[in-house]
Structure 1
Amino acid sequence: MPVSRLLDDVVTRIGRLSERQLFVLLMVFSAVIIFTGVGLRSPWPPDGPRFVEVAREMVDSGQWLIPMRGSEYYPDKPPVFMWSIAFFYWLTGNLKFAFLLPNALCGLLTTGLVYDLGRRLWNPRTGAIAAGLLLVTVQFVTQAKNAQIDGMVAAWITVACYGLMRHFFDRPSWGWFFAAWAFMGLGIITKGVGFLPIFLFVPILILKFRDRSRFAGSLTWLCAAGPLLMLLVAALWLVPMILYVDHVGTEAAFAYRDNILLKQTAERYAHSWGHIQPWWYFVGNVIPSLWFPLPFLLIAAWRPVYQRLREDPKLIVLFSWVALVVLFFSISPGKRGVYVLPALPMFALGLASVLGQLRSLRDGVARWFPILVTGLHLLLTVALITIGILALNDFPRLVEKASAYTNDPGRLHMAGGFFLSVGVIWLAALLVFWRSHALYRWFVSLMVTWLLFCTVAFQIMEPLRTPRNVLAHAEQLLPDDAQLGLLNFSEQLILFSNLDMTQFSYYNSQREQERNAWIWMNERKDRYMLVESDLKLECFTYEGAQFLGTAHREDYVLLGPEQQTADCAPPEKQIRFVTPTPCKGTGFCQ
């Protein structure tokens, strides 16, 4: 057999495996892709250091009920995701290993559920295709490999959709029905939007209205108990939190309660204050790029999709739910690409149910689709090789971009070598497997890229995505027993510091923070401040300040007593927070 046809033959052989063999192969392959890199890197901005610092403080303080960072309440998100990181940190004692485990496990769970639901509602081939489509989308694998809440809430929403679809379309299963509502409640105290599977009832009720005999035994008055279970699960955290806040009775505690219950939910949805995007942002930007190639494959297979929609109510329910979820997030003015991630697994499953009925991808799929994928494959190959060559030859624009992270030319050369190597791999896949289907070539190239990125690239990027160099230089310059303060709060600086660090409240204005810092430094002569060099300061001068280095595209300096101005007006209120011994003994920040 020609090598160029090898991928087609492999796909054919996989389709002949038994259900058990297919499931084991799928889970092993998914685990290799998703878990590669766990323990090989530290938390990187923007979200990783924040959630990891919250989890570290949970374990170190023993207070798990309300998330805290820098010894302040953190009201932006409920605690479930931070609990999961804290649990693995408590279990292993190693933050570097623990912080990526929750989403990796959630990604594997989502893949397995999509396969099993496809197997039950259609056939094993459909389930395998759905899992493969998930793995070929950049957004799904990226979130499975990151410490962001969205990967976890997407998993809970997928569990809920799995339970409801099994109950209504496989056979009545009240255990799975109520499990679905329980996971919706868990999703609410993970990230508010865990209730999204409720939208499945819109097409289900429409189908019931059109055919009264449908869903006999599964759509009864007992279904009304589902929302009660969802609220009960959510109350397992909400009620103790409210009671705790009432017991503490501080202004900060009440502000936390009001923020997490109102500002971060209904107010944030209706009147977003950040990430403002037009209504078409998800349909015109996020889905075509981050879900590629799934939306284009759907369009290319519109004839069989249309035929299946007329014949299969399950497909109507899945695609209707995906559309409702996208519409729900499109209405809100604030939009981020990760918001629509929960809809991706069911979209992949619905598309797989259509492709599973075709003899091969060449049947029923428009001819322009493989041309599109091949063209993008070639374009990406050229781009990777070009960037690699330019980086190895110190192209001025790339040197300028790299200088925001490091002035070490060796790092740019290492990155150039990585880009060049990946480009050669994509080129080799294009040439060697030319006669195989374009989507198979894309899949193999992307999977190899993920493996290289999570091993080689992690090692290149690690020194550039953490502030270790800045903190290490500060420790060298500080006198023995000196105290370090932080102006303009940053989780990663607290997380990676081997020293106790005083910060002056994330919720204070910079003016208030600076004046509190000035007062704090005046109390003792061995106190110093770590600040970004571009902050406009009134109580300090940069003259004589010691440069510490660059981290996260910011230059940092060390301010001592000599940099204090003679006088600084006191703030309206003096608030000071001290983080207890950050990061010592974790096996992570050394």
Structure 2
Amino acid sequence: MLNTRASREFWLLALMALLVLGTGLGLRDPWPSDEPRFALVAKQMVDSGDWLFPHRGTELYSDKPPMLMWWQASLYSVFGNWRVAFLLPSLLAALGTLACVYDLGRRLWTRRVGVYAAWALLFAVHFSFQAKKAQIDPLVVLFITLANYGLLRHLLCGPAWRWWWLGWFAAGLGVITKGVGVIALLMIVPAALASLLGWPRVRLHVRDWRFWLGPLAFVLATLLWLLPMAWTALSSGSTEYRAYLDDILFRQTAKRYAQSWDHHQPWWYFLATMPSMWVPAILALPWAIPAWWRRLRRRDPRYLLLLGWWLLIVLFFSIPHGKRDVYILPALPMFCLALAPLLPGLLRRRDVQWLLGAFTALLALALLVAGIGMLAGDPGFERRLMGQRGVGTHVTAALGWAGIAMGSWGVIGLLACGRRRFHLAAASILAGVWVTYGLIGYPLLNDSSSARGLMQQVGQRIGPDAELGLVAWKEQNLLMADRPAATFGFKRRWYRQLHDARTWQAQQPQRRWLLVQEDAVLGCIDRNAAERVGVANRRGWWLVPAPAFGGVCRPSAAELARIAREQGQDEDEQ
């Protein structure tokens, strides 16, 4: 009977995870700011056959290691569909993270604790939101969580040397996914403290020679990519490859951490981020803190390792000036795992249930107000949405009805679940939001958000035999183009791109067109002879034929300052 119940609970969790995280797969193209960049790099890997040195257009892309792009390119080779391949790594990584948390909770405590930990993680807004995006973060969270899984299996359930080695190896994979993968190894710090203080159950076994195979496994994982990449870059004699090597190994890792040049935030930024992004699990924190303290006083090393690592991650990312909410996402699985043993008792408390009910009611009310506002509210809101996103009234109306439907679903959930089960109402409305977002939001917003609609319009306007060049372009423009498009650099200043594009166009003026971002349309372009084709991603775009040019394209001081400012903002998005 217990086995049957355990099986039902596990499969309910698995099916709900697939529903919440997987709904919408294949219904949209990559959306900015990061998704088109990675998908474009992966597509160029497949097209060129060069998987070692990623390219964005004609330039090498050295901002991030290529692990995610490898996954996307590999899955495209299997499924042959970019709409599936670009999002599937995030889905698989999120499911893998949930599996690690579930099994770790089962082994450190009980099967029931593992189920609670996975449910808390699944419905944490930060986790679900990132799992439905094709960014590097879900993948690095998987490798960091897998590293924690292996280390904890050894430190708390061991000795288990194979899991110890796997933990170090997974941390190395995290490094070549996104340099911060090394933070998984901070788990050893509270473990060492517990061992020195003589706490039960935890031992490092430093004197055993097998301990030192862990760092070797870490180095081996990092060399899987670093060794062939560095060897090729150094032996080729190419200055471009050498610059790629220097940038990705030094500027984008240690220098980016020590001298952050973007996303500047105060030291307490994450103290504000976690309460807003980790709901609803974080709502239990006021009751969890004293309970954790009592267990730490009883010298329970499970809480010391999990909570100590969480605090170390927050401290680590609070030191540099540059901060983003996704930086501490890897700490969320261990937070949910530390919280899970307390949840059965906390959910029986009336005050906890009322807090969850208030959260659900506020979310439902916000959705209802937003939906009604889109349908019958301030028309200026609709105009702003149409102007910034390039969507029509049919989209805003459909989004309005979707908001009303989700808010109504939340109200029904509150009434149906009752005051003793408001946690089910919270899970219900969150599931409804993510499913509606995938089934309705994806198709409605795809053309404008992905630039597919814009690029289709451009292709129809210039005809099938014309050639297209891109100036001040974004990754989604090249990715969604219906033909091979000429580019003139990506990070180069826009007026220099425009100069080279004009030269290229002049070679065959009758059949070559330029698609130029509105901010890069200088005074040398006659706007009356050009054509404004639309708005995508809050940017206007112009089709420029050869006769529209007149005079020398030299930006004025004001235009130069504006271009530098706009291009600097685009670089900050990356």
**TM-score, normalisation: structure 2:** 0.92
Answer yes or no: is the 8 Å Cα contact 1:81–1:190 preserved in 2.
Answer: yes
Specify the alignment match of 1:337 in structure 2. Answer: 325
| Other structure's SS at 1:557 match | strand
Q: How does 1:547-562 map to 2 (within 5 A)?
A: 547-562=532-547
Tell me the equivalent position of 1:3.
Answer: none
Aligned residues: 551
Deviation, structure 1 residue 499 = 1.4
1:258 counterpart = 2:246: yes
Q: Name the residue aligned to 2:491.
A: 507
1:108-127 matches, cutoff 5 A: 108-127=95-114
Mapped to 1, the partners of 2:483 and 2:35 lie a distance apart of 20
Whole-angstrom CA distance in 2 between matches of 1:326 and 1:87? 34
Deviates more, 1:185-194 or 1:310-319: 310-319
Instruction: Give secondary structure in 1 for the equivalent of 2:50.
Output: coil
Written as runs of structure 1 = structure 2, the 5 A alignment for 1:138-537 is 138-211=125-198, 215=202, 218-221=205-208, 222-284=210-272, 286-311=273-298, 312-356=300-344, 358=345, 361-363=347-349, 368-393=351-376, 395-403=378-386, 404-406=388-390, 408-478=392-462, 481-525=465-509, 526-537=511-522
Q: Name 1:40's counterpart in structure 2.
A: 27
CA distance in 2, matches of 1:479, 1:454: 33
Cα displacement (A) at 1:253: 1.5
Task: Please tell me whether the aligned partners of residues 469 and 549 of structure 1 are also in contact (alpha carbons under 8 angstroms).
Answer: no
3-state SS of 2:482 partner: coil
- In structure 1, what is the Cα distance between the partners aligned to 2:150 and 2:548? 62
Closer, same or farther in 2 for the Cα pair 1:297/1:281, shift >3 Å? same
Separation of aligned partners in 1, 2:485 and 2:172:
37
Alpha-carbon separation, structure 2, partners of 1:272 and 1:325: 17
Distance between the aligned counterparts of 1:417 and 1:355, measured in 2?
A: 35
**Contact 1:50 1:69 survives alignment (8 Å):** yes
Q: Is the 8 A contact 1:550 1:556 kept in 2?
A: yes
Among candidates 103, 120, 137, match of residue 133 of structure 1:
120
Distance 1:105 1:166 in 2: 22
Contact kept, 8 Å, 2:451 with 2:477, in 1: the verdict is: yes
Q: What residue number does 2:16 align with?
A: 29
Q: Deviation digits for residues 190-216 of structure 1, max 9, x if unmatched? A: 000111121111111111111188645
2:58 to 59, 64, 71: 71
Q: CA deviation at 1:310?
A: 2.1
Cα 1:216–1:283 change in 2 (3 A) is: closer
Deviations 1:372-409 (A, max 9, x none): 33223222222211221221126223212212113521
Find the aligned partners of 1:253 and 1:216 in 2 and give their Cα distance.
45
Is the deviation greater in 533-542 or in 69-78?
533-542
Following superposition, the deviation at residue 544 of structure 1 comes to 1.7
| Percent of paired sites with the same residue | 38
Partner AA of 1:186 in structure 2:
L
SS in 1 for 2:261: coil
Q: Is the 8 A contact 1:127 1:352 kept in 2?
A: yes
Q: Give the Cα–Cα distance (whole angstroms) in 2 for the partners of residues 462 and 480 of structure 1.
A: 23
Which residue is equivalent to 1:582? none
1:38–1:129 distance in 2 versus 1, CA, 3 Å: same
**How far did 1:164 drift?**
0.6
Instruction: Provide Cα deviations, 1:424-479, integer angstroms capped at 9, x if missing partner.
Output: 11111122223333222111211122112211222222223121222222222225
Alpha-carbon spacing, 1:212–1:165, altered in 2? closer, same or farther (3 Å)? closer
Cα distance, 1:226 vs structure 2 = 1.3
Does structure 2 retain, via aligned residues, the 8 Å contact 1:515–1:539? no
Counterparts of 2:41 and 2:12, CA distance in 1: 37
Moved more, 138-147 or 370-379: 370-379
Aligned equivalent of 1:573: none
Alignment partners' CA distance in 1, 2:553 and 2:16: 61
1:540 counterpart SS class: coil
Distance 1:212 1:344, change over 3 A: closer
Which one-letter code corresponds to 1:495 in the other structure? L
Matched AA of 1:152: L
Instruction: Name the CA shift for 1:470/1:212 in 2 (closer, same or farther; >3 Å).
Output: closer
1:320 to partner: Cα distance? 0.4
Residues in 1 aligned to 2:157 and 2:8: alpha-carbon distance in whole angstroms: 23
Of Structure 1 and Structure 2, the greater helix share is in 2
Say which SS state the counterpart of residue 534 (structure 1) adopts. Answer: helix
Give unpaired runs (5+ residues) of structure 2: 556-574
Alignment-mate amino acid for residue 191 of structure 2: I
The match for 1:546 among 531, 537, 540 is 531
Worse-superposed segment, 37-46 or 464-473: 464-473
Q: How high is the TM-score relative to the length of structure 1?
A: 0.89
**Retained in 1: the 8 A contact 2:260–2:321?**
yes
Provide the C-alpha distance between the structure 2 equivalents of 1:214 and 1:386, rounded to a whole number of angstroms. 53
Please report how far the alpha carbon of residue 38 of structure 1 lies from its aligned counterpart in structure 2 after TM superposition: 1.1
What CA distance in whole angstroms lies between the structure 2 residues aligned with 1:186 and 1:507? 29
Gaps of 5+ in 1: 1-12, 571-590
1:69-111: CA deviation from partner (whole Å, max 9, x where unpaired): 1132110000111100000111111101111111101111111
